Chain A
Amino acid sequence: MSTASNTARANILGRLKAAPGRPGPDLPPWTPPTYADKLARFRQMAEANHAEIHDVTASNWPQRLATLLNNRGLRNLMIAPGTPRGDALVQAAAQGVPLPPLVPYDQSVEALKDALVHQVDAGLTGTRGAIAETGTLILWPTAQEPRLLSLLPPLHIAVLEEDTLHDTLAAAVRDQGWAAAGMPTNALLISGPSKTSDIEQTLAYGVHGPKELIILLVKKGE
């Protein structure tokens, strides 16, 4: 921090501390909503957000994904090697599941920038759960599963386990212990594909991020 910034800091904090004190109010009670059927609410809201949901199982999802991608005629799929989902796809491809060529996000963005910005058709990530109230996915990108994997490719595919649903963001922050665990470099809430309504309040998808969001919902115990 520069000298000027230090002076500014002292002056700003000095003025704020010299101001008349004021009592901070106690927080009035607020009960965020809960849902008897979290999955139904999630489905309804995620679809309202323009996400496409496919019910899959822990064993058939690579095959289902291959069908979805081939129906769309996609040229490739970027994956995160070293994650359970990424490795499962590599293994499935080796066993003959007709997936498009898998592109690993295995180097820094500087090395992969051109592919990421121009060539990759789809990216696959896991999720850290989801929020029923708003149909929202929770992603905490990691060293293995980088931030841009869910952003630059025109199609984002997210794998969501159905037993990781929370009623609300408030419940997820509390139950997953975000504050205590320490926040990651980047935590994301994603609710549908990239969109804008800046031109005459008309919705258009894929303005900068993915045009489409596909959620593979892994059903429990199947």
Chain B
Amino acid sequence: MAADGGHHPEHAPRFAERAPDALNNPQLRRNFRRAMDGLMAKRAAQFPDPAYWAELRARGAAVKARALAKLPDLLERLETNLTANGVQVHWAETTEEANAIVLGILQQAGARTVIKGKSMVSEEMHLNAHLERHGITAVESDLGEYIIQLAGETPSHIVMPCIHKNKAEISDLFAEKIPDQPRTDDVDELTAAARRVLRERFANADAGISGVNFAVAETGTLVLIENEGNGRLSTTLPPLHIAVTGIEKVVEFLDDVPPLLALLTRSATGQPITTYVNMISGPRKAGEKDGPTAVHLVLLDAGRSRVYQDVELADTLRCIRCAACMNHCPVYTRVGGHTYNAIYPGPIGKILTPQLQGLDAAGDQPHASTLCNACAEVCPVKIPIPDLLVRLRREAVRPTETPATHLPVVKDGGAERSWKESLVWAGWRLVYTRPLLYRMVTRALAWGGNWVPASAPLMRDWTKARARPRFKPRTLHDLARERGYLNEVPK
């Protein structure tokens, strides 16, 4: 439920205000419905044996849970082993710090153009805009990211960023933005056009920037998965590679990668494996003929260490970013990613965004859910998303405190508290604990409840997104008595 009017004056429109636009856009809904149906079917085909799925995901969940239990230790081991391999490791508490680190590395190298592999953490940083402001051009090279960069949009899905667009829209966009590019509905021709443009960008880039899927502490290895080869190009062809990642991506052993990889690609796109699994353990060594001569890793916190403080909420950090939760979400499928107005949309976003940005900025997100449990059923690392949605709804009105600091466990805990809602619940409790009062109130509502106008205080808030309640002329007690149910008095 939205808080009192005027409580969030500075906010961009919230989920409930944005949703009608998407719901009333039949093309958008067709694009998402079609894409989500396809992704669900492909994923299901990859897990034909329920027993094996249960075994594999139990392993995957345990691998991530174990890594989180040792998180500070593993981050130090990762740093030690990466440094020994020649990778320079940087730490950033905020996205601003991470941007400053990346910009500093690029400026020191005299870099003017950057080619980027797909990275949601770089979206979280708004890195491209930051570099642009300092005269550095960053070009997205994942086809989907390239398309939305051309369109000046943001990703609407964390795995398939331009899933909201159909090929006619993309054809128009390419014809407008790429010189000498005719309109075409042929996907191969559109893909070839992007290849032609981006190949020159790769060849001339001064640096490549990528994300990370798994960072292996044991060996100091960054594991990146992709289908297109743009990730390999971004991390191999330019003389400088900067990887950015959240601190939760670390795993302990190389042996931890196979089960997570098997879960990730099957859950994400219904593939047994992606075309490329790119494991980077250092810069170009003496005698090697290609690869960047310098590799940097930026470890970003940006609220994750706060999420880590609460043992229940920290399950959020197990996420391997497969997007299966959004593909299976009845809400996401109907409104699409942009309605969430957040970097991470869908169910995982609904628990992650309020924790990273605070419940004041994103406290409405946990309510954009029917708690149908589809996300929890498909999550490959068993994140109990519905439980955490309910937990965050509670934190937004009745925050728990961190014992050491007496601060709310979740940033801006209590931000959604509303006097109207509190009043309703207090009234409800009063009436339901006093039998005489209960009888009086239900009788009064049965007699005159339907005369209360929809514009009345409280009723207005309720009917904003719901049908007006109709009161029956006879109360439940009346009906029960009529049928001969006896009032059982407990002994």
**Which residues of A pack against B, CB within 8 Å?**
1-2, 4-6, 8-9, 11-13, 15-32, 45, 49, 105, 107-110, 112-114, 117, 133-134, 136, 142-143, 146-148, 151-152, 168-170, 173-174, 178-179, 182-202, 204, 206-210
Top 10 nearest A-B pairs (CB, nearest first) are A209-B229, A24-B69, A198-B144, A189-B277, A30-B59, A109-B290, A24-B66, A16-B72, A9-B91, A170-B258
B66 and chain A: residue at smallest CB distance: A24
From known contacts A5-B101, A26-B62, infer whether A151 and B288 are also in contact, taking CB-CB under 8 Å. no
Q: Check B284–A190 contact: CB distance below 8 A.
A: no
- Residues of A within 8 Å of B93, CB to CB, are 8, 11-12
Complex Cα spacing A193 to B228, Å: 8
Q: Check A208–B195 contact: CB distance below 8 A.
A: yes
Q: Check B88–A1 contact: CB distance below 8 A.
A: yes
Q: Name the contact of A12 in the complex, choosing from B85, B91, B143 (C-beta under 8 A).
A: B91
Would you list which residues of chain B between 41 and 95 have a CB under 8 Å from chain A? 55-56, 58-59, 62-63, 65-72, 75-76, 85, 88-93
Residue B472 CB within 8 A of the other chain: no
Q: Check B167–A195 contact: CB distance below 8 A.
A: no
A208 and chain B: residue at smallest CB distance: B229
Q: Check A198–B143 contact: CB distance below 8 A.
A: yes
Q: Name the contact of A194 in the complex, choosing from B38, B227, B285 (C-beta under 8 A).
A: B227
- Residues of A within 8 Å of B220, CB to CB, are 183
B98 and chain A: residue at smallest CB distance: A8
A182 and chain B: residue at smallest CB distance: B219
B89 and chain A: residue at smallest CB distance: A1
From known contacts A178-B254, A206-B195, infer whether A30 and B101 are also in contact, taking CB-CB under 8 Å. no
Residue B194 CB within 8 A of the other chain: yes
Q: Name the contact of B55 in the complex, choosing from A1, A30, A191 (C-beta under 8 A).
A: A30
Q: What are 8 residue pairs bridging A and B, where the CB atoms are less than 8 Å apart in the complex?
A: A8-B93, A12-B305, A25-B69, A186-B280, A187-B221, A201-B38, A208-B202, A209-B233
Q: Check A19–B308 contact: CB distance below 8 A.
A: yes
Measured between C-beta atoms, what is the minimum distance from B443 to chain A in Å? 51
- Residues of B within 8 Å of A13, CB to CB, are 72, 75-76
Measured between C-beta atoms, what is the minimum distance from A69 to chain B in Å? 21
Residue B399 CB within 8 A of the other chain: no
Q: Check B66–A25 contact: CB distance below 8 A.
A: yes
Known: A186-B236, A208-B228. 11 other contacts (CB 8 A): A1-B90, A25-B69, A26-B62, A30-B56, A134-B272, A151-B232, A186-B278, A196-B191, A197-B160, A200-B35, A207-B191
**Which residues of B pack against A, CB within 8 Å?**
34-35, 38-39, 55-56, 58-59, 62-63, 65-72, 75-76, 85, 88-93, 97, 100-101, 104, 141-144, 147, 160-162, 166-167, 170, 187-188, 190-192, 194-195, 198-199, 202-203, 218-221, 227-230, 232-233, 236-237, 239, 247, 253-255, 257-259, 261-262, 269, 272-285, 287-291, 299, 301, 305-306, 308-309, 311, 314, 404
Complex Cα spacing A114 to B289, Å: 15
From known contacts A16-B305, A28-B59, A45-B272, infer whether A183 and B277 are also in contact, taking CB-CB under 8 Å. no
Complex Cα spacing A168 to B257, Å: 12
- Residues of A within 8 Å of B167, CB to CB, are 199-200, 202
- Residues of B within 8 Å of A29, CB to CB, are 55, 59
Measured between C-beta atoms, what is the minimum distance from B208 to chain A in Å? 12
- Residues of A within 8 Å of B262, CB to CB, are 169
Q: Check B258–A169 contact: CB distance below 8 A.
A: yes
B247 and chain A: residue at smallest CB distance: A12
Complex Cα spacing A142 to B291, Å: 11
A210 and chain B: residue at smallest CB distance: B229
A142 and chain B: residue at smallest CB distance: B288
Q: Name the contact of B147 in the complex, choosing from A16, A105, A198 (C-beta under 8 A).
A: A198
Complex Cα spacing A4 to B286, Å: 31
- Residues of B within 8 Å of A148, CB to CB, are 236-237, 290
From known contacts A27-B59, A185-B288, infer whether A8 and B92 are also in contact, taking CB-CB under 8 Å. yes
Complex Cα spacing A183 to B285, Å: 13
- Residues of B within 8 Å of A196, CB to CB, are 143-144, 191, 227-228
- Residues of B within 8 Å of A187, CB to CB, are 221, 279, 281
A108 and chain B: residue at smallest CB distance: B289
- Residues of B within 8 Å of A114, CB to CB, are 203
B309 and chain A: residue at smallest CB distance: A19
Q: Check B276–A179 contact: CB distance below 8 A.
A: no
Complex Cα spacing A195 to B35, Å: 18
Complex Cα spacing A29 to B69, Å: 19
Complex Cα spacing A6 to B355, Å: 25
